[in-house]
Chains A and B, each alone.
Chain A
């Protein structure tokens, strides 16, 4: 079974590299490894488990900044993970900017992903402010 190294990066600077099989989700592998990631539905509907792709092996690091539209690194997001089911909690604009639902995503390449509850809060702003 092919596996990939997925490096999880928390906002406080902690990182952890987890080996994830192609047939398990990043959330499952992180749990087996004892790493705590937020989740809710585990079916791809709620977005609680959102991570943000920072770098794919072999491409230039984006220094943890949220990538903009048309960023070549991020366009690769659908090649970097395979989804078990439809990632319903993510809109096109989220997928285009590198967001990944870790509860249903399995890796297809070594990568670094920003994790933690703050990633979910990036998905939608206060529309009145």
Chain B
């Protein structure tokens, strides 16, 4: 099904009552059953920080194995300026608006992490999206915000973007709200709710939002510096918000084992209060959940470390190399947690049927510092697995290799010369196994203007890291 081409489709009732007249799917299970195999991917592609005289671009990648252009970048939407650092992006509408008649999952909101410029692409033609609107940085700075990160739609057609810094690139960050016409509506939250910001996810049926912490833009933009860790300039807290009120209800300090909590995901089931966050620097995964029986409060959230990746010794490194799990995602059926250990060079899947006790199902050692597979189709992998995306049916896991241009330059300087790749593993959700698909390779090293980096991946009709249900 395609949201843009069939905006008015009415889904048959599944196990629930509400009418489905808007974008997306009625339930996560409906997404699995009704979603078609992903045939295209949108991928953030960038030149920022290199000497290549070209703006960042959005790649449209052909993922249809029956197509002549399989594994090729079939369209590049060049943005008007250089210097953006395209990073994360999202849709104007997702399954959280599936009751909203007339709304379509049609516009991609594409922020520049470094520039604070926000682009709106019209993706009605899924193979040839077009730039529609640009919100210039000065308009964003007026709200004393900068460094846009995670884009989610709000169920009524508005768009919320986590912003990591103030207009000067210092703290505090906050949230910027856009209206249905892609104009800045204003700040979403009352002032002073948080200092640091990064990723967020909301669970409207539980009236909760959770946000994580990276650092001030002035801290992480230039590169990763241990001095900043020692100075406490990196985050280690989770914030639980009242989704309706936009206020922080509870903050959990994850401590030293929770340094730099990045991607944060609730389970897809709208009833669930369970979720996971990856603490990149401490190389741990935390489970969080609402503890209804909490003695010291009425249903407070709890967080507990459930996965711990050990650092590894390497002959060429002076100190043990941390795993650096920089991205995680939950399969649409809420059965598996997938993640990428960017420095070690590993993608992994854990069975989270019991979210308090994740059980390691499988992993692939590929790229990075320790990966057993260091080249695919004779193409050397310059870095480890980073941003991941999973097919709706949970059978294909894809990933790219760039984290953030200045951090790439520190840990994998070759990536600037070779560019990123996109790779894929075939997943057997029944057995809980993964196998690298050596026939699949998309190479950003061959872009016309020079090697480019590749970051976040989205499917045209919803995916495991952007769809939310009411």
Contacts and interface: CB of A to CB of B under 8 A. Distances in A.
A126 interface: yes
Contacts of A117: 49-51, 416
Residue with the greatest number of chain A CB neighbours at <10 A, chosen from B53, B137, B217, B223: B223
A80 to B, nearest CB: 21
Contact of B170 (A88, A116, A125): A88
The 10 tightest CB contacts between A and B, nearest first, are A45-B169, A40-B114, A47-B222, A124-B223, A46-B221, A88-B218, A36-B53, A121-B409, A127-B226, A45-B218
A91 B322 CA distance: 25
A38 B221 contact: no
Interface in A25-74: 36, 38-48
Majority SS at the chain A contact face: loop
B169 A88 contact: yes
A46 to B, nearest CB: 4
10 contacts: A39-B83, A40-B114, A43-B168, A45-B165, A45-B168, A48-B405, A117-B416, A120-B222, A124-B223, A125-B410
Contacts of B137: 42
Contact of A45 (B85, B217, B225, B405): B217
Contacts of A41: 83, 114-116, 146, 169, 217, 221
Given A88-B168, A124-B410, A127-B224, A38 B85 contact: no
B316 interface: yes
B403 to A, nearest CB: 13
Contacts, number: 115
Interface string A79-94: 0000001101111000
Nearest to A48: B49
Interface of B: 48-51, 53, 82-85, 114-116, 137, 141, 146, 165, 167-170, 217-218, 221-227, 316-322, 405-406, 409-411, 413, 416
Given A45-B169, A47-B223, A120 B410 contact: no
Contact of B146 (A38, A39, A45, A120): A45
Contacts of B405: 48
Interface in A82-129: 85-86, 88-91, 116-117, 120-121, 123-129
A47 B115 CA distance: 12
A40 to B, nearest CB: 3
Contacts of B320: 128
Which of A44, A46, A128, A129 has the largest count of B CB atoms less than 10 A from its CB? A46
A40 B48 CA distance: 7
Contacts of B321: 128
Contacts of B169: 41, 43-46, 88-89
Contact of A120 (B49, B85, B227, B411): B49
Given A40-B48, A41-B114, A127-B224, 12 more contacts: A39-B83, A40-B115, A41-B221, A44-B169, A47-B221, A48-B48, A85-B168, A88-B169, A120-B409, A124-B410, A127-B225, A128-B318
Contacts of A10: 51
Interface residues of A, number: 30
B50 A128 contact: no
Interface in A8-24: 10
Contacts of A89: 169, 218, 221-222
A15 to B, nearest CB: 15
Contact of B319 (A40, A123, A125, A128): A128
- Find the residue from B83, B168, B226, B405 having the highest chain A CB count within 10 A: B83
B217 A86 contact: no
Contact of A128 (B82, B223, B322): B322
A111 B165 CA distance: 33
B411 A126 contact: yes
Contact of B217 (A46, A116, A123): A46
A11 B32 CA distance: 52
A46 B167 CA distance: 12
A123 B221 contact: no
Nearest to B112: A40
A43 B83 CA distance: 12
Contacts of B406: 46-48, 120-121, 124
Contact of A123 (B115, B116, B222): B222
Contact of B317 (A39, A46, A129): A129
A15 B365 CA distance: 44
B52 to A, nearest CB: 9
A121 B413 contact: yes
